[in-house]
Amino acid sequence: MSSAFAVTLLLASVPAPSPHLTTGYELRLDPPAAAAPALRLEAAAPSPQEGAQVALSPEALRAADERAAHLQWWGRTLRWSTAAALVATATLGTMAAINQPTAFGDGRCITGNPILGNYGCDRGLSTLHGSIAILSVTLYTANLVLRLVAPESKGYVSEAARPWHTALSWIALGGIVIQPALGLIAAYPQVIGKSQSVPTDPFPRNLRTAHVFIGYITAVSFVGTVLIER
């Protein structure tokens, strides 16, 4: 009895758990709610790049505008120079074709009364035509490189005219690529093994005719792109 009485006293001395105490899970503290607004404010802060753009000085803006205007001037100059060179090439090519055998006849150098007389028949006119053609290709290449390196040099093309501009640009590019080869082979068929051919043979005659008409298409296509751009 005495041991039982002692155990009873010991248990009675332990305080009963308070109903206000919570479990360990309920006592866990969440991160302070003030951290989220701080993160949002930091994300909303402007980046250094944005601040730099806003802080551009009037002198920097004026210099950028002057550079864009300078590039646009060069773009227009190269486009119109290329168009003029292509028109001149087509004109000289027509004169040379009238003197030389084509699908339309034997040419005035054979039938008589050639354009520009002996100059039009002794390779002088053909050499001039080839020189202007090389200038046309050079100007076209310079214009293409400038457009790739500095897009600001391009002219404005409306959305309605963009499909036409794209199609004409590809046609002009194809003509620029193929015309030098056609002209060279038509003038010197021996470069592809036609060493026994003469100007009146069907091969150089037909190739010269194709060269002339492709030249017209190339010139008209490029001039069309220049007229579309503003």
Note the pLDDT tens digit of each residue in 196-220.
Answer: 667 678 888 999 999 999 999 999 9
Show the domain range for 176.
Answer: 75-228
Return the pLDDT at 28: 52
All residues at 6 or more sequence positions from 179 whose CB lies less than 8 Å from its CB, including other chains: 133, 211, 214, 215, 218
Q: Are 85 and 132 in contact (CB under 8 A)?
A: yes
* 11 assigned to some structural domain: no
Domain assignment present for 163 = yes
Q: Is residue 210 part of a domain?
A: yes
Q: For residue 35, what pLDDT is reported?
A: 46
CB neighbour burial string for 196-205, b if at least 16 within 10 angstroms, e if fewer: ebebeeeebb
pLDDT tens column, 48-64: 554 444 556 887 788 77
222 contacts 168 by C-beta, under 8 angstroms: yes
Share of the chain above pLDDT 90, in %: 55
Look at the chain and report how many structural domains it folds into: 1
Which pLDDT band holds residue 22 (cuts at 50, 70, 90)?
very low
Determine, yes or no, domain membership for 60: no
95 pLDDT band, cuts 50/70/90, is: very high
| In a domain? residue 219 | yes
Residue 178 lies in a domain: yes
Residue 14 within any structural domain of the chain: no
Phi, psi dihedral angles at 102 (to 5 degrees): -135, -175
Token pair, residue 103, equals 């699908």
Report, in this order, helix, strand and coil percent for the chain, each rounded to 5: 70, 0, 25
With beta carbons less than 8 A apart as the criterion, state whether 225 and 178 touch.
no
Domain assignment present for 216: yes
What integer is the mean pLDDT of 151-159?
90
Q: pTM for this structure?
A: 0.72
Higher-pLDDT residue of 34, 187: 187
By mean pLDDT, which of 40-44, 154-158, 224-228 is the weakest? 40-44
Please give the single-letter amino acid code of residue 3.
Answer: S
pLDDT at 44 over 50: no
